[in-house]
Amino acid sequence: MAQRGYFTFVLHGHLPYVLNHGQWPHGMDWLSEASLYSYIPLLREFYRLKKEGVDFHLTIDITPVLAEQLSHPLFKDEFKRYLRARIDSAQEDKAYFKKTDQDHMAGLAQFWEDYFVETLRFYHDEIKEDILAAFRGLQEDGYIEIMTCAATHGYLPLLGLEESINLQLSQGKATYERHFGRAPHGIWLPECAYRPRYPWEPPFSTPLYKAPVERKGIEEHLAAHKLLFFVVDTHLLAGGKAIGTYLERFPMLRRLWLQSQQGQEPLPPAEKRSPYQSYCVSSTGDLDKAAAFFTRDPHTALQVWSAEHGYPGDYWYLEFHKKHFPGGIRYWRITKSKSDLAEKDPYVPERAKERLRAHAEHFVGLIKGQLDKYHNETGERGIMCAPYDMELFGHWWFEGPEWLALVLRLLAEDKGILTTTCNEYLEANPPSLVMQLPEGSWGEGGYHFIWLNQDTVWTWEHIYEMEQSLRSLKGVKGRLPVDTTLQELICQSLRELLLLQSSDWQFLISTVSARDYAELRFSTHYDWLRQLISTTREYLQTGELSEGARNFLSDCKRRDDLFPELDWRWFFEYNINGSRP
């Protein structure tokens, strides 16, 4: 069969830093749940495909902050405890259901007991309690390609200083190299958020900025770090048409949008730009400061993203929200559209498995249909890029990992569509068209609304305040190379700045999914960073640290124990007009 095109899943794996910051409902249990229902089930499916000899390839991203947590001894010990608690809960539920003559529910409890026991076996025996090393092995064997990300998933277009962007990218790349033993080829931009070069100022009034500042396009930063490609949402390729709905609702967004449009050349007609080829983006026209990008396919996206219109909303699939007290295990199916929790029927695993085949075949049909159409119209073999949050598969959509593996099997059998990774495709098919992109993200409305709105503007005020406070420290640069105590203070301050900049806090505030936790975490990192900066100022004046200051620094290092190779030069010696240190 003649080859007609290429396909790659792009799975974005990310959670904010939760080690030493709570347990349940928000904290360490998030990481354990994602590992139990997403990361390990995906690994298990990839191992099965490999064992079966299936030729499969896909692209994934494990954010640096997630990699730090998955590799941490604290998580590894906690995860085993978490799994054993799940097994105990399933056994207790089984005994209760049997005692109350609920035979089907007792069978489901056995299903979950088996599932948890098998997960523990796989974790201990097959991947040796090292999730990250298992993904690395699949990359070294050529099945997957792992991208990097900004260190803590900072929302790059809204960060106030070029130094902050450089810090996020430098730490992200260094963490990747430590965990995966090589340099990354590509990057997942947090929230797929991009900003071109233009005279920028904050989207709200602040005395910290006296006038607009010429800011680099995000691709210029990527090129400086030798990061070759990233992924954008469909509307950015089409000229940013999706941004209009929120501009009138929130004046700050309109102000930022108008700034970004000043001096920009009109984009070519949208119909000339297909999401089934890669492009190069350059704000300046200088190809040494450019990066390639792939575009999210609009036709397949909703089939997986949407619980209302896509596969995850099938009535036979597991219901996410209804849980059995006290263990929190889920025993019910979706049942029907928009049914309340009282109307849920018991889960039937066999019926759910039957639906997987139909949904996988339908998805593969969409891939083949779109790439066949593109091939017939252009004579070229296009690339379809399908990006999703990794946690969607398993955590939100329980059957998702098995569905994804079935799609990969069907594509391997077809031969007409080759699965690939983004970098493999670029090496064989370098982009021929250089273009400009508008500002935007993959968030609701296509712009910055989820991360910048009336509920989150206060967080950006404090981020800009702390960036400027660090930058304005007097006497730091001359003493840092020779003063190890000052290095400790500054490096921990930069860790707290990175954690403060995590886009998760604005997302959780805006979606109200864990608002109290997000506001507390943001405020905590702000307080710690402010105290560290105050301590640093005092140390610069006196040359001494009090016992209390040393205790506070030690406590911060213990609680936020990540990024050991963090280099103060990434922030304090960044050359805005030239190369990074």
Q: Annotated active-site positions, please?
A: 191, 389
Amino acid at 432: S
Return the CA Rg of the chain.
Answer: 24
> Dihedrals φ, ψ of 229, to 5°?
-155, 165
Sheet-wide strand order for 279-281: 229-232, 291-295, 279-281, 434-435
CA distance 116 to 36: 8
The answer to whether residues 510 and 532 touch, using CB atoms and an 8 Å cutoff, is no
Question: Which residue do the tokens 């891939």 mark?
Answer: 367
The answer to whether residues 273 and 238 touch, using CB atoms and an 8 Å cutoff, is yes
For 49-81, the DSSP string reads HHHHT----EEEEE-HHHHHHHT-HHHHHHHHH
Exposed, middle or buried by CB within 10 Å (0-12, 13-18, 19+), for 265? exposed
Pairing of strands 58-62, 144-149: parallel
CB neighbour burial string for 237-251, b if at least 16 within 10 angstroms, e if fewer: bbbbebbeebbeebe
> Dihedrals φ, ψ of 186, to 5°?
-130, 175
Question: Which residue do the tokens 């492009």 mark?
Answer: 279
Question: Which residue do the tokens 């955590």 mark?
Answer: 395
The answer to whether residues 470 and 497 touch, using CB atoms and an 8 Å cutoff, is yes
Pairing of strands 434-435, 382-389: unpaired
Amino acid at 279: Y
